[in-house]
A and B are shown apart, each in its own frame.
Chain A
Amino acid sequence: MSNEEQFDDRVKRMFQGESIAPPANLEERLFAQLAPSPWPKRLGLSMGVLLVCGAGWWSALSEPEGALNVPSIETRSDIASAAEIVTVPVASDEVAPKASLESLETMDTSQVDDLQVLTKPDTEPSTPNQQALQSLERFPVESIPLESLEASTLQETNQNQWVLPAVVKLKN
């Protein structure tokens, strides 16, 4: 046996039968990893993935191209209905005619823009009441004497403008 072989043999014998106990938690970690997940869990996961993919696919198909670019009648009516709630607080003892969709349809674009300002969520730093006041001031509305008012009738002030007879009471 050469010197090298003797050395190798001596080293090898020193490591023969070497054993070190692994940490106790390793066994639990290993078998937790090896254990197959129960089938309802796997099935539920697969169904969930399919559902999400299907919903994404469906919404991608159903959304027409450029739908967000051109404001449709529906969007304008949405704005209008939201605006009704915010901008016309009416006292309970007053006659409060309902704002019809037609009145808002006749507004010019700048007025619709003003309404959009009013319908923004509460992200603005100022209070909603202050915003409503500022925006209402921009509307070219002439006041009408209360006596001549017929409830739920639109009043035409000139050829292009129609107004709702309403008494606006502002708090604060």
Chain B
Amino acid sequence: MENELIELIDACKRREPSAQREVYSRYSSMLFGVAMRYTNSRSDAEDVLQEAWIKVFRHLNSFSENNSFDGWLRRIVVNTAITHYRRNLKHAHHIDLDEVHATPRDLEAFKELEFTKEELERAIGQLPPGYGMVFKLYVIDGFKHKEIAEQLGIDLNTSKSQLSRARRFLQEVLAGMSKRAKEIES
């Protein structure tokens, strides 16, 4: 870690407001992107980000300089978003995806599939909330199944099976989008 960043973090540990503002301005755009990914609306993302920053500044003493500061910040935002998600979970309907077994041919076809980030985001948005969380935690933010199971309060095997179904669902949705786009072009 760079010396300049270490000094900045130390100043934040001493609760120096100018250092805290500097850290905020450096990382808040990246962290807001993470918060947006795990919430349904911009206002929810703002709440998550604000709560996460308060945790960051209050628990900065527990951060070890041997670790990645970006990674530590991202983890806090993701964990805050999970808490937010679990708080709202009781109001949500639980939807399951059917078990789908992808054939090797399907997966080969997927390799050549063209899709944009916006299309991928739209497809992820169509996943049932639990599946979407597992997929994003595992694929985008690199959580392990054990961690996901603990954070979401689900069984380890549930995490694995939801990830597998989410992948297959996304591939199908993206294939459908691609097919429609080609039809419009022709």
Contacts and interface: CB of A to CB of B under 8 A. Distances in A.
A7 to B, nearest CB: 6
A34 to B, nearest CB: 6
Contacts of B28: 21-22, 26-27
Residue among A7, A8, A14, A23 with the highest chain B CB neighbour number at 10 A = A7
Contacts of B21: 27, 31
27 contacts: A3-B107, A6-B111, A7-B110, A7-B171, A8-B138, A8-B167, A11-B139, A11-B140, A12-B139, A15-B117, A18-B30, A18-B33, A19-B29, A20-B33, A21-B29, A22-B32, A22-B46, A22-B49, A26-B46, A26-B49, A27-B24, A29-B50, A30-B24, A30-B53, A30-B54, A31-B21, A33-B54
Given A3-B110, A7-B167, 5 more contacts: A12-B140, A19-B33, A21-B32, A27-B25, A31-B24
A31 B110 contact: no
Interface in B103-144: 104, 107-108, 110-111, 117, 120, 138-140, 142
B8 interface: no
Dominant secondary structure of chain A at its interface with chain B: helix
Interface residues on B, range: 20 to 34
Given A31-B17, A31-B20, A20 B29 contact: yes
B69 interface: no
B173 interface: no
B50 A33 contact: yes
Contacts of B111: 3, 6
Interface of A: 3-4, 6-8, 11-12, 14-15, 17-23, 26-27, 29-31, 33-35
B165 interface: no
A22 B29 contact: yes
A19 B32 contact: yes
A150 B33 CA distance: 98
Contacts of B175: none
A34 B54 contact: yes
Contacts of A35: 17
Contacts of B29: 19-22
Nearest to B107: A3
B54 A19 contact: no
Contact of A14 (B32, B53, B54, B117): B117
A-B residue pairs, 7 tightest by C-beta: A19-B29, A3-B107, A18-B33, A22-B32, A20-B33, A14-B117, A8-B139
Residue among A8, A22, A33 with the highest chain B CB neighbour number at 10 A = A22
A34 B20 contact: yes
A19 B25 CA distance: 12
A132 to B, nearest CB: 63
Contact of A19 (B30, B46, B139, B140): B30
